[in-house]
């Protein structure tokens, strides 16, 4: 499409154009004039955004099916979204990650913060997993993948088209290999541990890089300790604790496939003799361990997002409180309880308060030792608080 043929979309008179000018990347449905022409745009179409006084704000992608009706893609309304455009953004993202990490295992693109709205790319050595979670990225996927291969040199690219975000954009779910081959789980070395990432059938992109610094902190407290890792996925905190010198680690998860990958990770580390898994519902397992009289020097609970959006906030906070209440009695006196939340809707204060209530209801007193967030390969736009979704709290429990 030539620049001159981009359609124009316009903010409503009461919409906050100042926020857009100062870097906020989204326009919500009630902020945009949705006349017949705008409604007729294909999901993911490019358009020039103007304020109510017809002043140009930049180039956006439009999806009238989404609550986020427009996403700022380039402040230059003359921008052409082609392979060269993607290469510039990917080179900038790659430069940061190569400064952060010696090995090519990281989140390469973290959506809006890396200038690619709704796009997530995780790198696993010679393989990249792309999540095109916005309609515009689906349309331009071929150019994005070509740029990704050109910039990084990866030989295989997987499209992971699953998750709640795609549903909100009206996109179908599908996972497929776009380039090269992926023959099995990829071993990832992180914090001294080895994780086996299933890039095709695993959860999300196969591994959660965001917890890397929080794994490291928990592992620093695990030396000589018996460790419990609940909602462990493919080994998460438990394998990191073994690398940190834990005497033993028990991982609990509802997925048999994830626990099998965790066991393979422990085997690759030479730590199978210190590692055990237990499949089952996390809440029921916490209750069962208490009934068995078990206690651990370090307990970590890293559940899925209980409050992914505001309507689920109250129920989500009750669930976080329940996790803390059930986990607290399993912590030995003077031991450590690490609680995590990846819920966008639950901010740090609300999550901390829910956790503290749960610990108190579990009969324990606590002090906060550590507050952690996602690693630096998950940068956050300062104008977009939702980007700072991950919170990790470490409590020391007495009595």
CATH code, 83-179: 3.30.750.80
- Please report, rounded to a whole number, the percentage of residues in the chain having pLDDT higher than 70: 99
Average pLDDT across the chain, whole number: 95
Q: What is the pTM of this model?
A: 0.95
Instruction: Dig out the tokens for 117 from the structure.
Output: 């709205």
Question: Would you give the DSSP letter of residue 203?
Answer: S
CB-based contact 347:390 (threshold 8 Å): no
Tell me how far apart the alpha carbons of residues 74 and 58 are, in angstroms, rounded to a whole number.
Answer: 6
Is pLDDT of 329 > 60? yes
Q: What confidence score (pLDDT) does residue 222 get?
A: 97
pLDDT digits (tens, 9 = 90+) for 121-140: 999 999 999 999 999 999 99
Residue spans of the domains in the chain: they are: 3-74, 83-179, 192-398
Q: Of the residues 317, 342, 374, 393, which is catalytic?
A: 342
What residues have CB less than 8 Å from 88, skipping those under 6 apart?
Answer: none
pLDDT digits (tens, 9 = 90+) for 150-192: 999 999 999 999 888 888 899 999 999 999 999 999 999 999 9
Q: How far is CA 68 from CA 50, 73, 308, in A?
A: 16, 13, 15
Instruction: Dig out the tokens for 352 from the structure.
Output: 């901390």
CB-based contact 262:251 (threshold 8 Å): yes
Q: Where would I find the beta strands (DSSP E) of 65-199?
A: 68-74, 105-110, 119-124, 127-132, 156-161, 174-179, 186-190, 193-197
Q: What confidence score (pLDDT) does residue 323 get?
A: 98
Tell me how far apart the alpha carbons of residues 266 and 232 are, in angstroms, rounded to a whole number.
Answer: 13
pLDDT digits (tens, 9 = 90+) for 380-396: 999 998 778 999 999 99
CATH code, 3-74: 2.30.130.10
pLDDT digits (tens, 9 = 90+) for 12-66: 998 888 889 999 999 999 999 999 999 999 999 999 999 999 999 999 999 999 9
Is pLDDT of 3 > 80? no
Domains 83-179 and 192-398 in one fold: no
CB-based contact 182:196 (threshold 8 Å): no
Output Rg (C-alpha) for the chain, integer angstroms. 22
Please choose, from the candidates 10, 21, 209, the residue with its C-alpha nearest in 3D space to the C-alpha of residue 97. 209
Adjacency order of strands within the sheet including 119-124: 105-110, 119-124, 127-132, 156-161, 174-179
End-to-end CA distance of the chain: 68
What would the mean pLDDT of 229-246 be, rounded to a whole number? Answer: 98
Tell me how far apart the alpha carbons of residues 200 and 204 are, in angstroms, rounded to a whole number.
Answer: 9
Q: What confidence score (pLDDT) does residue 168 get?
A: 85
CATH fold of the domain at 192-398: Rossmann fold (3.40.50)
Instruction: Indicate the pLDDT class of residue 202, thresholds 50, 70 and 90.
Output: confident
CB-based contact 132:121 (threshold 8 Å): no
Tell me how far apart the alpha carbons of residues 281 and 303 are, in angstroms, rounded to a whole number.
Answer: 11
Tell me how far apart the alpha carbons of residues 171 and 284 are, in angstroms, rounded to a whole number.
Answer: 35
C-alpha 240 chain-centroid distance: 19
Q: What confidence score (pLDDT) does residue 109 get?
A: 98
Question: Would you give the DSSP letter of residue 351?
Answer: H
Adjacency order of strands within the sheet including 296-301: 275-279, 248-253, 226-230, 296-301, 331-341, 391-398, 365-372
What is the sign, positive or negative, of the torsion defined by CA atoms of 118, 122, 128, 131?
Answer: negative
Whether 342 is catalytic is: yes
Helix-, strand-, coil-residue percentages of the chain, each rounded to 5:
35, 30, 35
Instruction: Indicate the pLDDT class of residue 4, thresholds 50, 70 and 90.
Output: low
Please choose, from the candidates 211, 200, 10, the residue with its C-alpha nearest in 3D space to the C-alpha of residue 106. 211
């Amino acid at each position: 499409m030539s620049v001159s043929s981009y359609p124009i979309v316009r903010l409503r008179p009461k919409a906050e154009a100042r926020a857009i000018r100062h870097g906020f990347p989204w326009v919500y449905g009630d902020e945009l004039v949705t006349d017949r022409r705008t409604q007729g745009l294909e999901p993911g179409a490019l358009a020039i955004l103007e304020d109510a006084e017809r002043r140009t704000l930049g180039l956006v992608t439009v999806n009238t099916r989404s609550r986020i009706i427009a996403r700022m893609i380039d402040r230059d309304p003359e921008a052409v979204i082609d392979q060269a455009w993607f290469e510039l953004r990917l080179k900038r993202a790659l430069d940061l990650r190569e400064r952060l990490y010696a090995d090519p295992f990281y989140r390469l693109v973290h959506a809006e913060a890396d200038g690619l709205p709704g796009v997530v790319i995780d790198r696993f050595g010679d393989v990249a997993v792309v999540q095109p979670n916005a309609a515009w990225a689906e349309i331009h996927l071929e150019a994005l993948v070509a740029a990704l291969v050109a910039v990084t040199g990866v030989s295989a690219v997987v499209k992971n088209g699953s998750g709640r975000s795609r549903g909100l954009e009206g996109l179908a779910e599908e996972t497929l290999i776009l380039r090269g081959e992926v023959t099995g789980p990829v071993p990832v070395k992180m914090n001294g541990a080895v994780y086996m990432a299933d890039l095709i059938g695993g959860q999300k992109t196969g591994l959660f890089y965001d917890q890397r610094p929080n794994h490291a902190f928990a592992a620093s407290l695990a030396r000589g300790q018996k460790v419990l890792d609940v909602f462990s996925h493919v080994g998460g905190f438990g394998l990191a604790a073994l690398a940190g010198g834990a005497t033993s680690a028990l991982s609990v998860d509802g997925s048999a496939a994830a626990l099998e990958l965790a066991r393979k990770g422990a085997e690759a580390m030479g730590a199978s003799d210190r590692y055990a898994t237990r499949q089952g519902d996390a809440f029921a397992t916490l209750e069962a361990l208490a009934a068995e009289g078990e206690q651990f020097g370090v307990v970590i609970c890293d559940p899925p997002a209980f409050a992914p959006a505001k309507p689920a906030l109250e129920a989500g906070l009750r669930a976080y409180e329940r996790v803390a209440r059930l986990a607290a009695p399993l912590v030995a006196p003077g031991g450590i309880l690490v609680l995590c939340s990846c819920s966008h809707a639950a901010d740090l204060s609300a999550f901390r308060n829910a956790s503290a209530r749960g610990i108190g209801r579990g009969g324990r007193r606590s002090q906060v030792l550590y507050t952690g967030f996602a690693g630096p390969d998950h940068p956050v736009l300062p104008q977009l608080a939702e980007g700072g979704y991950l919170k990790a709290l470490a409590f020391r429990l007495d009595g």
